A and B are shown apart, each in its own frame.
Chain A
Amino acid sequence: MDPFSAGQQDEEDSAIDLTPMLDVVFIMLIFFIVTASFIKEAGIDISRPQAETTEKQDRASIFIALSPSGEIWIDRRKVAPAQLKPTIEKLKAENPQGSVVIQADRESRSQQLMETLDAVRDAGITEVAISAEPF
Chain B
Amino acid sequence: MKLLTQIRQQEEDSAIDLTPMLDVVFIMLIFFIVTASFLKEAGLTANKPDVQQAPPTEEAPSIVLRIASEGQVYLGPRRIDIRSVRPNIERLRAETPGAPVVVRAEDGARNHLIVDVMDAARQAGVMDVSLARAD
Chain A residues packing against B (C-beta within 8 Å): 4, 18, 22, 25-26, 28-29, 32-33, 35-39, 41, 49-57, 60, 63, 66, 101-102, 104-111, 113-114, 117-118, 121, 127-134
Q: Is the CB of B44 within 8 A of A132?
A: yes
Contacts of B73 in A (CB 8 A): none
Bound Cα distance from A108 to B35, whole angstroms: 30
Number of B positions contacting A (CB below 8 A)? 41
Given A29-B32, A39-B39, A106-B112, 10 further pairs, Cβ under 8 A = A22-B25, A35-B36, A56-B41, A102-B43, A106-B111, A108-B111, A117-B131, A130-B115, A131-B42, A132-B43
Known contacts A29-B28, A117-B48, A121-B48, A131 near B112 by CB under 8 Å: no
Q: Is the CB of A128 within 8 A of B111?
A: no
Q: Is the CB of A109 within 8 A of B32?
A: no
Nearest A-chain residue to B106, judged by Cβ: A110
Contacts of A63 in B (CB 8 A): 41
Known contacts A38-B35, A108-B110, A117-B48, A132 near B42 by CB under 8 Å: yes
Q: Is the CB of A41 within 8 A of B39?
A: yes
Known contacts A113-B111, A114-B105, A130 near B43 by CB under 8 Å: yes
5 sample A-B contacts, Cβ–Cβ < 8 Å, listed by A number: A36-B32, A36-B36, A39-B37, A106-B112, A129-B45
